[in-house]
Amino acid sequence: MDLLTNKQYCLITYGCQMNSSDSERYAGQLEELGYTMTEDAELADVILMNTCCVRETAEDKVLGKIGEFKHLKARNNDLIIAVTGCMAQEWQERLFKRAPHLDLVIGTHNIHKLIDLIKEREEKRGHALATDMDGNVFYDIPTRRFQKFFAWVPIMNGCNKFCTYCIVPYVRGREVSRPLEEIVEEVRNLADEGYKEITLLGQNVNSYGLDFKDGTDFSALLYAVEEIDGIERVRYMTSHPKDMTFAMVDAIAQCSKVVTHLHLPVQSGSTELLKKMNRGYSAEHYLELIEYVREKIPDVALTTDLIVGFPGETEDMFQDTLKLLKKVRYDMAYTFIYSPRTGTPAATMGNQVPQEVKSDRLRRLMAVQNEISLACNKEMEGRDYEVIVEGPTKNDENHWFGRTSGNKMIIWENDGALAVGDTVPVHVDKGQTWVLKGHTLKQEAHIG
């Protein structure tokens, strides 16, 4: 097939960082076919929606967007509309029944098939479904990086944890680790291309290598990536307390390029509730991990995920969560009201918590956490931190931002002396609940 002329694609991504990484590989294939990117769906010859189904509200949003594109299909029957990702894996052929104007439904294990499916669709009309799960998800796929200095690097796919509230294992499949040498090669290539910061991606990065059964683990990967010249920072997400070991904490502490930010989702401070969630650890074990982390990484910035109103949660259980929050003192917490997810065990559990109780608990939880976040950020006032410049803030081009190793956003007034990708020390003048305000130390700046 010859390369296309003046053909455009519009790519819409929902959900997590894994989906963002997958979208880069979809974009790479489309550009290999000769398509160029547009943000205007009205101008597109291919519209690809890479979807999330962690919450049913996310699915509703996707279904609404699919409906919006029906008139475009009626206007241009050559338009190709594709739904990919987790929702595609879950719904499969049901999506065609719901939206007959769709052309392609591509599941989480079939990213590499996009080129063939596009060619097939252009040669003949009709639907194409690719949702088989063969276990191998790491193919050599062209990638179109969306950022210049920051790159996603997938290290594994799938999840074996089966938390009772989560749909991920059913749509991403079992844990499959990518060979260590392939990851190292990709990171080395990224360094050669000028990338400064990478993020190692997996549903549970602490489970990396366990399927190899040869002793390879996440620690070994960190030590290997640490040796690559040119990379300044190594981030990773997301961790799981069940598979986080003291040896992994040691590796994080010993690797100078690995960031001081640790996102370790606890979900609840009640051991009884954690058992109902099938999390695989107790609140006591979690606190032991945190104690060891703080001992080995004194300047660690800790963040977490918390769910309120899980089925059977009592006021005493909720108080256990508040106690844990006050004991750990997270820099930030992502807080969620539990909502039943069809297809998960928790959705059919008894003792569902009334909505008004869940909302009240979330309010109280956020009030405690916001107070802690503000205190943590105010403790950073007067100190200097190295950041990699990311560019102007969303709403004000005169103010630029970057992030500390601990993933804290610092905003400063731009004087035109810096460029995106520069590495620069920034002095923190004011700590706020969500961000830090400061100024650059230009006389000490070392421009990358």
Encode pLDDT of 130-161 as tens digits. 999 977 778 899 999 999 999 999 999 999 99
Residue 386 forms part of a structural domain: yes
In a shared domain, residues 238 and 157: yes
Reported as a pLDDT band with limits 50, 70 and 90, residue 124 is confident
Query: How is residue 32 written in tokens?
Result: 């290999």
Instruction: Give residue for tokens 């598979």.
Output: 243
Q: How many domains does the structure of the chain reveal?
A: 3
Indicate the pairing of strand 46-51 with strand 80-85.
parallel
Which carries the bigger pLDDT value, residue 124 or residue 113? 113
Handedness of CA 186, 187, 192, 194 (dihedral sign): positive
* Mean pLDDT, range 41-58, rounded to an integer: 93
Residue 168, pLDDT score: 94
Answer whether residue 445 shows pLDDT above 50. Answer: no
Residue 4, pLDDT score: 55
- Domain end residue (candidates: 96, 130, 164): 130
Query: How is residue 68 written in tokens?
Result: 């919006």
- Domain end residue (candidates: 78, 97, 130): 130
CA nearest to 84, candidates 40, 52, 116: 52
In a shared domain, residues 373 and 400: no
Residue 136 forms part of a structural domain: no
CATH number of the CATH domain containing 295: 3.80.30.20
Query: How is residue 63 written in tokens?
Result: 């279904």
Residue 235 forms part of a structural domain: yes
Query: How is residue 33 written in tokens?
Result: 């076919």
In a shared domain, residues 100 and 219: no
Q: Which residue range forms the structural domain that includes residue 428?
A: 381-440
In a shared domain, residues 342 and 391: no
In a shared domain, residues 307 and 180: yes
Which conformational region is residue 329 in: left (phi greater than 0), alpha (psi within -120 to 50 degrees), or beta? Answer: left
**Rg for the chain (alpha carbons), in Å?**
23
Answer whether residue 3 shows pLDDT above 70. Answer: no
Please report how many Cα atoms fall inside a 13 Å half-sphere around the Cα of residue 150, on the Cβ side.
Answer: 20
- Domain end residue (candidates: 363, 379, 395): 379
Q: Answer yes or no: are the C-beta atoms of 196 and 150 closer than 8 Å.
A: yes
Reported as a pLDDT band with limits 50, 70 and 90, residue 34 is very high
In a shared domain, residues 394 and 283: no
Residue 138 forms part of a structural domain: no
Residue 376, pLDDT score: 98
Helix, strand or coil for residue 291?
A: helix
Residue 395, pLDDT score: 87
**Degrees, nearest 5: CA angle 292-197-25:** 115
Residue 1 forms part of a structural domain: no
In a shared domain, residues 248 and 301: yes
Q: What's the DSSP call for residue 33? A: T
Q: Is 376 annotated as a binding residue?
A: no
Cβ-proximal residues to 161 (8 Å cutoff; 6+ apart), any chain: 169, 204, 240, 242, 278, 279, 280
Residue 248, pLDDT score: 97
Residue 1, pLDDT score: 42
Q: Is 86 annotated as a binding residue?
A: yes
Distance CA 303, CA 174 (A): 26
Residue 443, pLDDT score: 40
Reported as a pLDDT band with limits 50, 70 and 90, residue 5 is low
In a shared domain, residues 365 and 388: no
Residue 225 forms part of a structural domain: yes
Residue 89, pLDDT score: 96
Distance CA 2, CA 33 (A): 8
In a shared domain, residues 242 and 277: yes
Provide, rounded to the nearest whole percent, the portion of the chain with pLDDT above 90.
90
Residue 293, pLDDT score: 98
Residue 435 forms part of a structural domain: yes
In a shared domain, residues 19 and 84: yes
* DSSP E strand stretches across 2-45: 8-13, 36-37
Distance CA 432, CA 375 (A): 8
pTM over 0.85: yes
In a shared domain, residues 204 and 288: yes
pLDDT single digits (tens) 200-247? 999 999 999 999 999 999 999 999 999 999 999 999 999 999 999 999
* Mean pLDDT, range 29-38, rounded to an integer: 96
Residue 6, pLDDT score: 85
Query: How is residue 408 written in tokens?
Result: 């804290």
* Mean pLDDT, range 64-80, rounded to an integer: 94
Residue 436 forms part of a structural domain: yes
Q: Answer yes or no: are the C-beta atoms of 154 and 21 closer than 8 Å.
A: yes
* Mean pLDDT, range 69-80, rounded to an integer: 94
pLDDT single digits (tens) 313-347? 999 999 999 999 999 999 999 999 999 999 999 99
Distance CA 448, CA 446 (A): 6
* Mean pLDDT, range 339-362, rounded to an integer: 96
pLDDT single digits (tens) 383-442? 999 999 999 999 898 999 999 999 999 999 998 889 999 999 999 999 999 999 999 986
Q: Is 163 annotated as a binding residue?
A: yes
In a shared domain, residues 213 and 180: yes
Residue 40 corresponds to which amino acid? D
pLDDT single digits (tens) 281-298? 999 999 999 999 999 999
* Mean per-residue pLDDT over the chain, rounded: 94
CATH number of the CATH domain containing 400: 2.40.50.140
